Amino acid sequence: MHQANRTHLVLLLIFTFSFCYRLLLIFWEGFPPGADIGLHNSVIYSITGSGPTDFLYNYFHIGGGVSLTFPGYHIFTSGVMLLTGMTGAMEYVVHALVVALFSSLTVLCAFLLTKRIWSTSAACIVAILAAISRFDIEMIMWAGYPNVITLMLIPLTFYLYLQRERFSKLPFIGSTSILVGSLFLTHSLSVGIFGAIAVATLLVILVAPKTLMTNRKTAFYWFLPIVLGAVLVSPFLIQAVPAYLSDNAYLNGSSGSSDIGSATLSARVLSLWIVVPLFGLIPAFLILSKKFYDRWLALPAFLLCVWVFVCLVFTQGYLVKIPFDYNRFLYFLILPLIMFTGVLIDYGSETFAKVIDTYRSFSQRAPRISHLRLYRFSLNLTRKNLYTVFVLFFLVFSFVAIPIFMTPPSTNVGQSIQSFYQTMSAKGWEALQWAKANSASNAVFVADAEYGWWFGGFAQRPTLSAVDPQYLSLNREVDNATFARNLLDTNYVIDNGYVQVREDGGYLGRHNPEFLAKIRNEYYPYPFFNFDNDEIEITLQNGTDTQIVYLSDAPVKDMHLESTPNSQSIIVTYGNELFNYTQKVTVYAQSALANVTVTLTATDPNVAFAALRYSLHTKSTIAPVISADNSNLGLVDTDMKTLGQLSFTSPQSRPDYITPSDASKDYSPVQLKYTLDLQTKVDFSFYMGTYQYTDTEYAQTGSGELTFEALVNQNAQAQLNKLQQLPATGQSDFAVFDYQKELVVRAVSYVILFNNPEHLPRFVDDSLFSLVFINEEVAIFKVNGNLP
């Protein structure tokens, strides 16, 4: 068989394997993994819905509104759906087929680019490696479908750039302009990466063309398709660019951008120890350039150097406080890394084969080997066969040892990656179809982040998804997503910038309340300690009987928020035929301490209270610091440098016993017990809060031996003194969440719990909600009075 035909056959086999392998991974658990597929389907239905087409509006995603998702992928996929009639339940199959096709085409583009720059043998190895590239496949797993398309378009465009001499002018300009225009229409981040690489390279071409073995015309032919590509899609760009600049939270100074930027900088930073070694690819490509082109800076090798440099520099944008999802830039870096690995395998195998073959040839000049079979075997050790053996060995070694390659889903690693991104299930799909058939088209739903994206796209209902800010890009999305996260987690939140208090209300014994510390340079507050209604124990005397009642067993009588000019309070009242229990938590402006007031009243003349016990769950890493008279309780997490404080300022508020758990239980929970001496009414209050201390504060707590006791006592007095100097008004300092009010304001019709049984009591027992659907994984609650 002719060498070219063998190469084509190998490529066909690799492409077929790649396509089937990706489909196997996508449908391994029945439904495509990832949440973003829901976003893509919502974009398709927003484009193809009735009325004029608006590429910059999404009717379903995170409540509906302005959309900056570039529509290239969605236009193509909607066309496939319309041509094949694969709509409804088959829509996710179309997504899977399209993305598997383009991801497999990336394998062929990797072959073409490697063949142009290095060699055909290295290109075949690179194609095999690209077929199982973990980063490409992982992008399919989380459903970054438009990015998958552009990861094919970028190497294909650069391949044509490097092959300019083989084309006449019009075919070259026409094909490259269409490719670049497709980039502009499909994925904004990819446009930025491609543009940075291309422009940086062509600038060097203009300055030193001879150094790169080219001429200045090359720069013109690289730049012209970028301009013409933008012109081709200019009707879209004319609308998109202003909207992108005004609504993209990364590019303006709104409150939404502050949330997104802070969350991204605290959660999506890429460590230098990952990035720095990758800079080694640049000198490696220069060395390979010297070997293949007999000069250090040939244009193809230089292009790869710029490609690597641009991607790595962008991963460190957090150093100058530019908020992006820095991990995304690694996806663009993987192809040069795979190309280097493939060339290394090719060159290493060739070198080893040459050395062994030379040694074998030399050995044949010696007396004939006495063992006939060994002699015949040595005759088959041709350089070509040796090369094949070494290539296979290095490929297997790469698959096993290098973490950028994906093992089959049947293995532990492959299965864990697949399961990590899996969102939809048969039960989840059943609930989605029920809601689509039994709710109004404009009914507003609330769901968690991943399931909510699926729900909005495939049920075609406005859905507020509980997405963390670092995964958002639009200002309008931040407020809706924050509301959804709060609603699915708790009933009330008060945040004054110094401390955050969360209260689950009376229907769930968990955080009653929970105090979270504000951590420097972190977006998310740190949950430090909390009470739990399931563990608040009331011992009472009912006539001659002694009874123990847990607060979570008492029905809820009332829950609400109260506001003053400089404070916000959460008030929850429980009661039965024996007693009423009211807890009021007041958060003050500009203070890390909140006041907790407890009122316990007997409603039956035969009832008196004997004892009251609390269990305080804490993240403390050392034994609690307890003052001699029980007036102060300090809890310290030395890892997070966080201090929790309970100050009992009056004698009647001080527990009679404070009993910490031992170190084997991480000092949690701490037991607080009050002896009530058969009173019929108990009323006391104390202060409670948490904050992060500094090493300087700790060092200044006393002379001689430094102790946390000194830090606790010093902080207690300082925080109590601040309470005496509260501002006359401070409402602007508060961020407040009241679930009852927010449900009305946002006209929420339904709330979905997906694989979240812990929170069922919050909704089942609350008269504001009615359960309308439930199966093993999903519960859907109607918000009474809010249906459209």
Residues 655-697 have pLDDT tens digits of 999 988 766 667 889 999 999 999 999 999 999 999 888 776 6
* Residue 702 pLDDT greater than 60, yes or no: no
Highest mean pLDDT among 270-279, 545-554, 662-671: 545-554
321 or 25, higher pLDDT: 25
Please give the pLDDT value at position 48. Answer: 87
Cα–Cα dist 607/601, whole Å: 9
Position 703 confidence tier, pLDDT thresholds 50, 70, 90: very low
Please give the pLDDT value at position 373. Answer: 54
Position 385 confidence tier, pLDDT thresholds 50, 70, 90: confident
- Using DSSP's 3-state secondary structure scheme, residue 563 falls into strand
Beta-carbon count within 10 A of 735 CB: 13
Position 416 confidence tier, pLDDT thresholds 50, 70, 90: confident
- Using DSSP's 3-state secondary structure scheme, residue 31 falls into coil
Q: What is the pTM of this model?
A: 0.89
Position 39 confidence tier, pLDDT thresholds 50, 70, 90: very high
Position 769 confidence tier, pLDDT thresholds 50, 70, 90: very high
Average pLDDT over residues 157-175: 93
Average pLDDT over residues 70-75: 94
Residue listed under structure tokens 């080694």: 280
Of 28, 13, 38, 118, the residue nearest 406 (C-alpha): 28
Under a CB-based contact definition with an 8 Å cutoff, are residues 306 and 298 in contact? no
Pick from 203-212, 399-408, 549-558: least confident: 399-408
Position 31 confidence tier, pLDDT thresholds 50, 70, 90: very high
Please give the pLDDT value at position 561. Answer: 95
Average pLDDT, the chain: 88
* Residue 67 pLDDT greater than 80, yes or no: yes
Position 705 confidence tier, pLDDT thresholds 50, 70, 90: very low
**Length of the chain counted residue by residue:** 788
* Identity at 370, one-letter amino acid code: S
Under a CB-based contact definition with an 8 Å cutoff, are residues 467 and 480 in contact? no
* Residue 644 pLDDT greater than 70, yes or no: yes
Instruction: For the chain, give the percent of residues with pLDDT over 70.
Output: 90
749 or 401, higher pLDDT: 749
* Residue 777 pLDDT greater than 80, yes or no: yes
Under a CB-based contact definition with an 8 Å cutoff, are residues 413 and 440 in contact? no
Average pLDDT over residues 346-352: 89
